[in-house]
Amino acid sequence: MKHLGMVMFGTSVCVCQALAFGSSAAGASDKAGAFTLVPDDYGMVLKTPDSRTVFRYMIKKPTQTKLTANSVCCLYPVKTPSGEDVVEFAPSDHPHHRGVFLAWHAMEGKKPADFWGWGAWAPTENRVITNRSVKLVEADAKHAVLEVRNDWTAEGEVMMEEATTIAARVRQGLYVIDLDFRLTPTSDITLKQTAFSGFCVKARKDGEAVYVSPKGEVKLPNPHHLKPETDWPTADWYDYTIKLSGGKTVGAAVLDHPGNPPSLWHNLAPIAMVNPCIVAPGPVQLKQGQPLRLRYRLVVHDGPPPTELLNQLGAEWRRQ
């Protein structure tokens, strides 16, 4: 069993029901020609200086939705620089999935809990990730930094306090989104060993798709959701690219960070999932008051996988 000790700083991301946007909720930068953060009916939308949407940090469940998970906190939509969606929200085959999100479905502590929304291994009732604030803390013409605060609550009791920073910028025609999570448990918690859960990109599946790693196109068998040993091997990054039925090609890559616990990847083509899973190698033990820090770089692109740039971005990421 892995034990994760104290880290000095970091942040984390989730999907949740909002209580407050925080002091920067109205959020637009005062600087002309800068990234801005503006509210809409379901959360806070990050826009480039030329008003293109990068993503929404979503904190409120739409009234007309098939989402079955209690928690909402996620990135949805996530757009390519040309304005195409790359992720899904509450798809018909897995209505508890939502955009880009972080959660586990098998947590043991004072109360067992499933914040993923599956409901097979732990209770989902009265388990919810609740948003406290979303703030734009830094913005100029080249980048923006958001700060997110969430509570992971079970039957009204906070199990973990989440602090997340999300930094976004444009790099050679791509969106580069760095997510830095810190999850601080209020008591000891075990994240049980499972084949999937944790940080997940739920991509679109309405077209012809391919997974690519630094070694090229991946043709491994699909992992089994009950067999962690069938997950894909550790890699610096995996990319999911899809040629949409309308003809355009879009994709998203997830870059792992060496400071994260070791992961196997539950990349499942039938449901278009990219999931570096820290609990696939074994259970993870969290100690009261000691933050778990997780860092992922999300690269969103139009066109085929930008392999050379992904390798460059990965090398830079690993040095940070």
DSSP readout, the chain?
A: -EEE---S--------EES---TTSS---SSTTS-EEEEETTEEEEE-TT--EEEEEE-S--SS-----S---EEEEEB-TTS-B-B-BS-SS-TT-BSEEEE-S-EESSS-B-SSS--SSS--TTEEEEEEEEEEEEE-SSEEEEEEEEEEEETTEEEEEEEEEEEEEEETTEEEEEEEEEEEESS-EEE---SS-EEEEEB--SEEEEEEETTEE--PPPPBTTBGGGSBPP-SEEEEEEEETTS-EEEEEEE--TTSPP-EE--BGGGTEE-EETTSSS-EEE-TT--EEEEEEEEEEESS--HHHHHHHHHHHHH-
pLDDT at 152 over 90: yes
Q: Which residues contact 204 (CB under 8 A, 6 or more apart)?
A: 85, 86, 87, 88, 242, 244, 250, 272
pLDDT at 190 over 50: yes
Cα dist from 188 to 106, 110, 129, 198, whole Å:
14, 8, 18, 18
pLDDT score at 64:
86
pLDDT score at 289:
98
| 106-122 average pLDDT score | 97
C-alpha of 289 from chain center: 23
Q: Mean pLDDT of all residues in the chain? A: 92
| 137-156 average pLDDT score | 98
**Paired sense of beta strands 273-274 and 198-202, if any:** antiparallel
What's the CATH code, domain 10-319?
Answer: 2.70.98
Model pTM above 0.95: no
pLDDT score at 309:
97
pLDDT score at 246:
87
pLDDT score at 11:
36
Region for residue 137 given its phi and psi (left: phi exceeds 0; alpha: psi -120 to 50; beta: otherwise): alpha
pLDDT score at 43:
98
| 239-248 average pLDDT score | 94
pLDDT at 166 over 70: yes
Confidence class of residue 25 from pLDDT cuts 50, 70 and 90? very low
Least confident stretch, 23-27, 168-172, 190-194, 289-293: 23-27
- The per-residue pLDDT for range 38-91, each reduced to its tens digit, is 999 999 999 999 999 999 999 999 988 899 999 999 999 999 999 999 999 999
pLDDT score at 287:
98
pLDDT score at 9:
31
pLDDT at 308 over 50: yes
pLDDT score at 320:
86
| Cis bond upstream, residue 261 (ω within 30) | no
